[in-house]
Structure 1
Amino acid sequence: MNWYEKLNEYFPIEEMKSKEHMELLLKDKAEMYHKDESPDHVLMYVETKDFIFVDYIYVAAKTRGKGTGHKLMEKLKAKGKPIILEVEPINYDDTDTEKRLHFYKREGFEHAVSIGYKRRSLATNEVNEMEILYWSPTNESEESIMEKVKKTYEEIHTYKDVELYGKSYLDVDEVLTIEADKTDNILEFETEKSPT
């Protein structure tokens, strides 16, 4: 399987960019959009002068639990910039969602509780709600994280959307929202146990 097939098999269709979109980003935005791959992993990420956005991270099933994901995160953390990513909320019918959240919690990521992110998938036309997680070496504010997510949405997620998909994604202000009162009352980032 090539790198795109691995990602496409692992991530839900509503979260996937087309292969053409990703290849165009790697070519047209080579200064900021990167692919790091081996037989055991695929990492697609955005790097600017002041942040990193993890677009996709895939670790082969045979190597999960052996530190591959941790090593990839350590490599990114060594750059000394905030790291941001989107994750699906916990879905008790999909145990991978809970495992992913546990992994990021262990890696020191915080849940941006004030940021709301709802995007309509051009593939399924369904509204897809995601949670924003971040790791910051400098106690970055959620307002600052929000601006970085907006930049990623506008420059990466929606890049040439009409040309690639025949229609455009929603405007950034319809997709991303911030609730100021929640930034004063940050909840501890934790996952709940599945009801029995």
Structure 2
Amino acid sequence: MHWYEKLNEYFPVQEMKSKEHMEALLKDRNDIYHKDEGPKHVLMYVETDTFTFIDYLFVSKDARGEGLGHKLIQKLKDKNKPIILEVEPVDYEDTDTEKRLRFYKREGFEHATSIGYKRRSLATKEINPMEILYWSPGHESEELIFNAMKKTYEMIHTYKDNKFYGEKYEPVDNVLKLDDKNDRNVLDGL
């Protein structure tokens, strides 16, 4: 199965970039946008001088429990820079959301509780709240994570959006907010 089909079957439609968008990133932004693919996994990520952003991580069901996800995350941790990713809030009807959060908690990720993130899907037109998780070797501030997320949104998520989707995503300042009042941690109690 093609790498895009694996991702498309696993991730919700509102979180998926189009195949054309991702192929353009791999071609045009190959200085920062990368694909690590094997028979049992697909990892799409952004690597800059100061941080790594995991765009998509897929490990096939038959490989779960083999430590493959841990090995992929460790490979990124070995670069010794903050790692950032987006996750959907826990949906108790979808057990995979809780499993994902447990996995990232085991891997030492923290929830950026001060960052609010709500993006309108161009596929469904719905507003989707997402949570930002991060791992930081130097205990960087959530403000640094926030600025890296803004950079990712502008460089990757909205890359040629009008060309690929026929419309533009909302401006970054409408989507990402730094709000110190949020004290709900999605990793608590897992």
State the alpha-carbon separation in 1 of the partners of residues 72 and 149 from structure 2.
21
State the alpha-carbon separation in 2 of the partners of residues 68 and 191 from structure 1.
25
1:132 paired with 2:108, answer: no
- Quote the residue 2:172 is aligned against: 172
Q: Structure 1, residues 127-152: CA drift from partner, whole Å, max 9, x if none? A: 11100000000011001100000000
State the alpha-carbon separation in 1 of the partners of residues 68 and 185 from structure 2.
29
**1:178 to partner: Cα distance:** 1.0
Contact 1:42 1:56 survives alignment (8 Å): yes
- Quote the residue 2:13 is aligned against: 13
Q: SS of 1:180's equivalent?
A: coil
Contact 1:102 1:191 survives alignment (8 Å): no
- Quote the residue 1:156 is aligned against: 156
1:123 paired with 2:123, answer: yes
Contact 1:105 1:190 survives alignment (8 Å): no
TM-score by length of 1: 0.94
- Quote the residue 2:76 is aligned against: 76
**1:188 to partner: Cα distance:** 8.4
Q: Structure 1, residues 75-102: CA drift from partner, whole Å, max 9, x if none? A: 0000000000000100000000000000
Which residues of 2 match residues 81-92 of structure 1 at below 5 A? 81-92=81-92
**Unpaired stretches in structure 1, ≥5 consecutive residues:** none
**1:181 to partner: Cα distance:** 4.3
CA root-mean-square deviation = 1.3
Which residues of 2 match residues 28-67 of structure 1 at below 5 A? 28-67=28-67
TM-score by length of 2: 0.97
State the alpha-carbon separation in 2 of the partners of residues 172 and 12 from structure 1.
22
Q: Structure 1, residues 99-142: CA drift from partner, whole Å, max 9, x if none? A: 00000000000000010100000000011110000000001100
State the alpha-carbon separation in 2 of the partners of residues 189 and 101 from structure 1.
7
State the alpha-carbon separation in 1 of the partners of residues 14 and 31 from structure 2.
26
Contact 2:101 2:187 survives alignment (8 Å): no
List 4+ stretches of structure 1 deviating above 6 A: none
**1:15 to partner: Cα distance:** 0.1
CA 1:167/1:91 → structure 2, altered by over 3 Å: closer, same or farther? same
State the alpha-carbon separation in 2 of the partners of residues 130 and 137 from structure 1.
23
**1:190 to partner: Cα distance:** 1.7
Contact 1:33 1:45 survives alignment (8 Å): yes
**1:65 to partner: Cα distance:** 1.2
State the alpha-carbon separation in 2 of the partners of residues 56 and 186 from structure 1.
24
State the alpha-carbon separation in 2 of the partners of residues 186 and 42 from structure 1.
31
State the alpha-carbon separation in 2 of the partners of residues 42 and 190 from structure 1.
28
**Unpaired stretches in structure 2, ≥5 consecutive residues:** none
- Quote the residue 1:103 is aligned against: 103
Contact 2:102 2:187 survives alignment (8 Å): no
Contact 2:32 2:48 survives alignment (8 Å): yes
- Quote the residue 1:24 is aligned against: 24
